[in-house]
Structures are given as structure tokens and as C-alpha cells.
Structure 1
Amino acid sequence: MANDDEIQIEPVSSVMKVFAILSALSTQKSLGVTELSQLAMTSKSTVYRFLQTMKMLGYVRQEGDSDKYSLTLKLFEVGAKALEYSDLVELAEPYMNRIGEQTHEALHLGIRDADNIVYVFKVDAQYNLRMQSRIGRRNPLYSTAIGKVLLAEKDEQEVKDILAETEFLPSTKKTHLDVSSLLNELKIVREQGFGEDVEEQEEGLRCVAAPIYDRFGNVIAGMSLSYPTLRHSDEDKLNYIALLKESCEKVSSKLGYNAS
């Protein structure tokens, strides 16, 4: 069997044509189907179909009833979001490492993707008994401390819209079973400035999280600390919350957020 280095991936011609069209549009204010077909070296009918799909997805706009097309800002928004999260991990990593050294517990950095959180960075606990997780893992918004801080500053209708198709599955007997129950807790999260998961996602595991803001004042991520209930004390919890809040405030400030 060939190893990974020997596998040759054949390029998908339709994808290459789409990017050829996007690249061509990036060099001009607008271009017509004929010009684009020449630059992409494909038929006008194919270019037209691609353009209509990209228009439907919001990546290009058609100028009136003409055959001229131009790029929207959606590609910029996608690139800016990716850059923002890249910067986010780079900025958060030293603070998370520092908290990990102080507490020896596990830390996670998570963002929202639809009705889930996705872990984009983690620091492992230094104990044998610790949370098992990985970067890229998904968990529900409704049963995680990070999920709660990501939802807490949204209005009730937006939370309902985000979770409209979500099935509230009881991971433990303490998991929220519906959006109404969650909304009641989100009010508390918003007031206290941190979220908690008290054995809602996994029995025997507690988690606290604080929000990270972008320069527009939107909560874009959460930083959490997880630990087994057998290592819980109220004093430790208050210390964890203080460390997380302080670190999240510094990361938010570096992202351009001004709390005042």
C-alpha cells in the first residue's frame, strides 16, 4: 500500500475553475461572462452556472441585468474571520499556559459553530485524572460553560433561533432539557460574567468559562478551565474564575476591545 507521501491527489477541475473566476474578479471592478470564460479557460455556459451559484451563496453580485459580475465582501469576511481566530489562539496561548502552570488543570479555548462549540486550543491537565478532549472536538452549546458564555449576551430570540433545530440530549441528569431552562441560566451568566458546567456534559466534571470579546464588543470565544468534582472547592473555583476573567480581559484588549 502506498504511504501518504506517495498518494497523488488529482485536482478537481470544477474547483480550480471557480477559484480562477474568483481570482480574475479580484483584479477588476467587474467582468463579464465572456471575459471570465477566457480568463478561466472554460465555456461561457459553465462560467455562467458557477457565477449563479456564487451569487446565490453571496460571494459575487450581478450588476443589474447586465452580464457583469463583481466580488462582494463575503470573501473578505471569511478571510478576516480566519485571521481573527488565528490571532485569537496566538494571543490566548500564553495566558492559558500560565493558568495551567498555576492550577495544573485543563484549559480550553472554544468558538461557536452553529449550535456547537469547537475547541481550537487546549492545555492538558497535569494530573492523571483529567478531562479527555482534543482540538477540533465539538460539544453542545447548552451543556458547556463555553457554550453558555457564547450565548449569554445574545437576546432571547437569537438564542432560540440558534438552537431551533437542536435536540437537547441529556448527557447527565443535570443537563438542560429545553431552551427555556437554558435561557434562565443565561441571565445569570450574563450578570456574573462567567459560565459554569456542573456535571452537565460529563458526570464528575466541572467547568468554568469566561468570555473573549472582539473589537466590536461581540463575544467570539470562551476560555474555560475543567476539573473533576473530587478536586472542587469554592475557594479554588473563585480563584479559577478570577484567573480566567483577567486573562480573557487581556486577550480581548489585544483584539481591540475597549470595555469602557
Structure 2
Amino acid sequence: MTDSENKSGGSSLDKALSLLQHVCMASVPLRFADLVEKTDLPKATAHRTLMSLTEKGLVRFDEVTQLYHPGYGLLELAHQAWSKIDVRDIAADQMKHLWSETGETIHLAVLDRGEVIYIDKLESQKSLRLFSAVGKKGPAYCTGVGKAMMAFLDEGTLAKALKEQSFFKHTSTTITNEEDMINELNKIRASRVSLDLEEHEEGIQCAASVILNHRNEPIAALSITAPKFRVDDSRFQHFQALVKEACVKVSIRMGAMASA
């Protein structure tokens, strides 16, 4: 930063960001005089910068009330930013945390046309052979990750997803009809925990939870998968708490409401 920038309160970018933050963070819309006072900028500089922000659509000025509001251009920027965020990067540290805490297999999956696609996986520290593999598809109705995401679909999308399920009976505990599936999804929506109790593979169970985006839409799910013989009820309940907490943290990073 140059001496002239220091004397005038920082760079042009600093000034623009300061004004934009005050406009966006204010509990009530501010007047020009309020912004000058809060930023301690010269009037001419503040006016010029606000004009530039308004032209870019980042700030909106109401001619009638003489108040400044966040601009609609911010929504477009936010949409573009969220669309380019890779959930694998955002969830990576929580996957590692779950893996180190449990020593079991951790999956990250997305939902695609009624099926789950595994997009990341940390293998168990112990010997375990599973159906899943990165890039592989699997059924949604009988997997923890699939049910976790389906539970948070909007009504229309869920109806379509349900029609896409085969409801093939893989094991004695597999859900095989739409009515039972809806009841299961209602429970998952309330608890934010989805269980696969040997529904896809005999002897394999998992605890999963959903990752939501800034629109509180399901975009992915995490799961902890382990053979039933080495996970007692107490440990399995601990898995449920761990994966739910991890998904809440990732969801918040993706812009979801903390209470969603």
C-alpha cells in the first residue's frame, strides 16, 4: 500500500469492500451520511465508490427513501460461487475426522436420478470388503446415504425419485415398497440420521446424514460403514452422533442454516 493510499484510508478496493460490508450488514438500510460516518471516508470518495458499486449491481439506491440496500447482483455472484464449490473439498477434513475417530469406512455420496454415486471414500483401517467404490452407483432406497438425501428432497423431486426405485429385496431388512419408504424418510427428516441396517449387504450397517446447501437442498451425504459383528449398540449410536455433527458442520460451510 502506498503512502497516498494510507492517507486516504486505504486502497480503492478496501474502501469499496468497507462500504459494501456496511450496506449488507446493517440491521436497517443506511443513508449516505450514515455510511460516510461509519467508514470515515471523504464524501467525494464515498459517493464515487457507491456509484461504482451501484453500477455493478452490488448496491441498490432507493431514490425515494434515499437509502442504500444490498444489490441483486450479490445474489448472482453468490449463486455462481456456490455452484463452483466442490463438496469433496469442503467435506475432506470431516471425512478424515470420522475416519480417525472410528477406524471404519467413510463414504461421501451424491444423488443422481434416483441412485447414489460414491464420489469419495476412506477405506477402513481394518479388513473390510464392500460393494462401494468411488465412481460406482448404488441404490438409494436401501443405503444410508441414499435415504439421508431423499429425506430432504422437495415434494415433487421426492415423488420422482421414489418412482425410480426398484425396491428389489437385497436382504431380509430391505424396504420393498413406497409406503414404508415414506415412513422411513419422515423419521430421517426428524432425526437427521439415516441408518442402513443390513438393508443392502448382509452383515453391513452404516450411519449416515445429509449435507445441505445454501438453499437447504440435499447435495451430498456422509456415512460411517462397518460390519455388524464389531459394532455394538453403544458404538453404533456414537457413529450416528459423529456423522450428524460432521454433516451439520459441512452444511454450514455450504451456506445452510445451522438449524436446518
TM range (shorter): 0.5 to 0.7
Contact 1:131 1:227 in 2 (8 A): no
Contact 1:130 1:227 in 2 (8 A): no
Distance (Å, rounded) in 1 between the aligned partners of 2:165 and 2:128:
31
Count of equivalent residues = 183
- The alignment's TM-score, normalised by the length of structure 1, stands at 0.65
| Matching residue of 1:193 | 192
- The alignment's TM-score, normalised by the length of structure 2, stands at 0.65
| Matching residue of 1:83 | 84
> Is the alpha carbon distance of 1:81 and 1:115 closer, same or farther for their aligned partners in structure 2, counting shifts above 3 Å?
farther
Distance (Å, rounded) in 2 between the aligned partners of 1:203 and 1:81:
38
Shift of 1:159: 2.3
1:212 aligns with 2:218: no
Shift of 1:156: 5.3
Contact 1:149 1:189 in 2 (8 A): yes
For the aligned residue pairs, the C-alpha RMSD in angstroms reads: 2.2
Shift of 1:204: 0.4
Structure 2 unaligned regions, length at least 5: 1-76
1:170 aligns with 2:163: no
Contact 2:107 2:224 in 1 (8 A): yes
| Matching residue of 1:146 | 145
Distance (Å, rounded) in 1 between the aligned partners of 2:235 and 2:105:
14
Distance (Å, rounded) in 2 between the aligned partners of 1:221 and 1:141:
12
Shift of 1:133: 2.5
Contact 1:194 1:241 in 2 (8 A): yes
Other structure's SS at 1:257 match: coil
Shift of 1:111: 0.5
Q: Tell me which amino acid in the other structure corresponds to 1:232.
A: V
Shift of 1:166: 3.0
**Mapping of residues 222-237 of structure 1, within 5 Å:** 222-237=221-236
Q: Give CA-to-partner distance per residue, 1:43-99, whole Å, 9 cap, x none.
A: xxxxxxxxxxxxxxxxxxxxxxxxxxxxxxxxx9x9878623x2x101111111121
Other structure's SS at 1:209 match: strand
| Matching residue of 1:180 | 179
Structure 1 unaligned regions, length at least 5: 1-75
| Matching residue of 1:95 | 94
Shift of 1:126: 0.5
Q: Tell me which amino acid in the other structure corresponds to 1:134.
A: A
Distance (Å, rounded) in 2 between the aligned partners of 1:119 and 1:81:
21
| Matching residue of 2:250 | 251
Other structure's SS at 2:163 match: coil
Superposed structure 1 runs of 4+ greater than 4 Å apart: 78-82
Structure label with greater radius of gyration: 2
